[in-house]
Chain A
Amino acid sequence: MSGGDTSADSVTNAVRLAIYRAIERSGSAPGAAEVARALDLAPADVEDRYRALAGAHVIVLHAETVEIKWAPPFSAVKTPFVVRAGRSAWHAPCAWDAFGIPAAIDCDAQIEAVCAWSGARVPCGVEHGLACGDGLIHLLVPAAHFWDDIAYT
């Protein structure tokens, strides 16, 4: 890898980190302009980084935009999977990712989920670093095809 590529990767990585730090802090995904200001980059450059991160399956953008829909395990849009830790709360794209949030932040958390079959609440989460709660997580799409249509997955 050339020095130029390493620098480009470094900037993309800084953009990724800025996105995740913002969503961790606020529950909301930052726009490219906000990240550009924070990192003193050109907005168009940051938009290209957003597209690169989406192409690498790190984040998911709303169709035909550079607005973040998901920065897995976080969701920037409301979902049935709510994760609470202390006074903070986030949405997760799916049940697996709901556990990804306390894993990413390294904290205990309460997860609010709903059984797709019965509609019953499925309280679960992480307490003292251990998983708690009952239930099974059902995945429909085989792993090799997770990203064929990640919204459906």
Chain B
Amino acid sequence: MNSWCSDRGVVRGATMTIPQAWELSQKWYGTRLELDFRRPTKDEAQAIFESVGLTGPFWKL
């Protein structure tokens, strides 16, 4: 991953595992096709990230 980033001149970002992506997706998109969907507020979004272990400066909203 580091070589991929250096080849493209980009700074390495953050990673998430597949189980984290699934858990995050359930919380982020689970109500997207429902009538009462609304986007999470900034605080709610931060709490969702934290609840699946996505913490640190990269995930700070």
Contacts and interface: CB of A to CB of B under 8 A. Distances in A.
Interface of A: 13, 16-17, 20-21, 24, 56-58, 72-73, 95-97, 99-106, 116-117, 124, 126, 130-144
B33 A17 contact: yes
Given A103-B26, A135-B18, A140-B13, 11 more contacts: A72-B32, A96-B25, A99-B22, A104-B30, A116-B4, A131-B19, A136-B18, A138-B15, A143-B45, A143-B49, A143-B59
Nearest to B35: A17
A13 B35 contact: yes
Interface of B: 1, 3-4, 10-19, 21-26, 28-30, 32-33, 35, 37, 39, 45, 49, 54, 57-61
Contact of A140 (B11, B18, B61): B11
Given A17-B35, A58-B39, A137 B18 contact: yes
Nearest to A133: B18
Given A56-B39, A57-B39, A143-B59, A105 B18 contact: no
Given A73-B25, A116-B4, A136 B15 contact: yes
30 contacts: A16-B37, A20-B33, A72-B29, A72-B32, A73-B32, A96-B25, A97-B25, A100-B25, A100-B29, A100-B32, A103-B25, A103-B30, A105-B33, A117-B4, A131-B19, A131-B23, A135-B18, A136-B18, A137-B17, A139-B13, A139-B14, A139-B16, A140-B10, A142-B13, A142-B59, A143-B45, A143-B49, A143-B59, A143-B61, A144-B60
